[in-house]
């Protein structure tokens, strides 16, 4: 056995031990973060004993039964979809400069394949897919070994090339895809919604169920005005924006008026730094209440700033049909049980009909 494997095993044992300790006592980081927050009770809907902000939450109980499912096009998809950023070494890390290096050390090819297997073991049957060589190789290996995961491909397009990612994803066997959120935002801002429509059309020609992803609500509002651009579903960043490092809430400006590249007024101070993912949660909820397309929510945990109990509940209660969440392997079982429990509880606070 190599020194590398011995070191890695020791690391995992220590991480497991620390996780067990964390259910009984808060870490130094949790103490520090809570010290920065104003005194408050546990978040609405949190279980008894949960701490403010969802940190140091009680252990998650096992929930019997299968993972809840919905439909994207003709495909049965688990309500909890695995994200892809972590396994491709690209985590939103705010101002932590070592995070990408840490991910590279942790998510070896072996670990990624192990994660894919564990997704299936906890009932997750779909994973987002970054269309790049390493991801494609590992997805092929998982499928070749008997894996049944459905790949939901992130499609990057530009004016000169609408089909590269679509063709590579289709060759892998991906039946579902979505135009990446960066392109959704960019082509709205530049007034080139036709590029998004053409990308969606190319995906359909390849036989895929295709969605449109965005960070900003503006693009989806414009898409709806244009008949939906042919998208089968919408994918939008969505969380309460109630976490310590988020921007502060702002009072509505009575003199504000929509412009060509900004159709909604921010509810939280906007920012382009690496921890601002939802500045219009109320208007996002209101938008989807009137939209019949399935809603896949992402960034529901604000890159780890919101607890799964809190973030999952907020997203489902306020209209999301699916959650796409980046997860470490040691988080999978708890997150699957949290998702299942929310469906056992029947979502009494949800008013939007399930659209998938």
Q: For helices 164-172 and 193-205, what crossing angle results, to 10°? A: 30
The residue range of the domain holding 275 is 68-344
pTM of the model: 0.85
Q: What's the pLDDT score for residue 332? A: 96
pLDDT bracket for residue 303 (50, 70, 90) = confident
54-59 contact pairs (CB < 8 A, 24+):
54/306, 54/307, 54/308, 54/309, 54/310, 54/311, 55/26, 55/30, 55/307, 56/22, 56/25, 56/26, 56/30, 57/307, 57/309, 58/23, 59/23
Q: What's the pLDDT score for residue 83? A: 94
DSSP 2: -
Where b means 16+ CB within 10 Å and e means fewer, 47-79 reads eeebbbbbbbbeebeeeeeebbbbbbeeeebbb
Residue 52 lies in a domain: no
Residue 132 lies in a domain: yes
Residue 120 lies in a domain: yes
Q: What angle do CA 175, 221, 323 make, to 5 degrees?
A: 45
CA gap 278, 300 in Å, rounded? 9
Residue 21 lies in a domain: no
Of the candidates 218, 276, 219, 272, which has an alpha carbon nearest to the alpha carbon of residue 244? 276
Residue 36 lies in a domain: no
pLDDT at 335 exceeding the cut of 90: yes
Residue 9 lies in a domain: no
Q: What's the pLDDT score for residue 244? A: 84
**CATH code (residue 154):** 3.20.20.100
Residue 29 lies in a domain: no
pLDDT bracket for residue 313 (50, 70, 90) = very high
Rounded mean pLDDT, 60-77: 96
The string of pLDDT tens digits covering residues 11-44 is 445 444 444 444 344 444 444 444 544 444 444 4
Residue 142 lies in a domain: yes
For the chain, the average pLDDT equals 86
Into how many domains does the chain fold? 1
């Amino acid at each position: 056995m190599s020194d590398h494997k011995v070191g890695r095993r020791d690391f995992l044992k220590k991480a497991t031990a620390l996780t067990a300790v964390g259910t009984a006592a808060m870490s130094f980081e949790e103490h520090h973060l809570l010290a920065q927050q104003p005194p408050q009770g546990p978040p609405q809907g949190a279980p008894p004993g949960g701490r403010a902000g969802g940190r140091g939450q009680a252990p998650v109980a096992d929930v019997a039964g299968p993972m809840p499912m919905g439909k994207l096009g003709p495909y049965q998809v688990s309500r909890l979809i695995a994200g892809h950023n972590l396994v491709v070494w690209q985590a939103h890390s705010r101002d932590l400069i070592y995070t990408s290096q840490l991910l590279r050390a942790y998510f070896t090819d072996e670990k990624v394949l192990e994660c894919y297997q564990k997704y299936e073991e906890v009932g997750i049957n779909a994973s987002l897919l970054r269309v790049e060589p390493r991801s494609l190789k590992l997805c092929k290996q998982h499928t070749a070994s008997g894996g049944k995961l459905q790949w939901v491909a992130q499609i990057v397009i530009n004016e000169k090339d609408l089909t590269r990612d679509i063709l590579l994803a289709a060759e892998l066997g991906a039946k579902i895809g979505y135009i990446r959120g960066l392109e959704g935002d960019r082509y709205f801002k530049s007034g080139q919604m036709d590029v998004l429509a053409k990308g969606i059309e190319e995906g359909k020609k390849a036989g895929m169920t295709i969605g449109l992803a965005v960070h900003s609500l503006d693009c989806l509002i414009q898409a709806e005005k244009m008949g939906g651009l042919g998208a089968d579903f919408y994918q939008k960043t969505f969380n309460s924006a109630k976490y310590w490092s988020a921007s502060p809430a702002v009072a509505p400006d009575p003199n504000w008026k929509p412009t060509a590249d900004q159709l909604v007024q921010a509810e939280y101070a906007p920012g382009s730094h690496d921890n601002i993912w939802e500045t219009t949660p109320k208007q996002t909820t209101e938008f989807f209440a009137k939209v019949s397309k399935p809603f896949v929510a992402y960034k529901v945990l604000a890159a780890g700033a919101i607890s799964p109990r809190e973030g999952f509940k907020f997203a489902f209660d306020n209209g999301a049909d699916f959650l796409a969440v980046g997860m470490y392997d040691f988080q999978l079982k708890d997150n699957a049980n949290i998702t299942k429990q929310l469906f056992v509880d029947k979502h009494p606070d949800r008013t939007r009909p399930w659209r998938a």
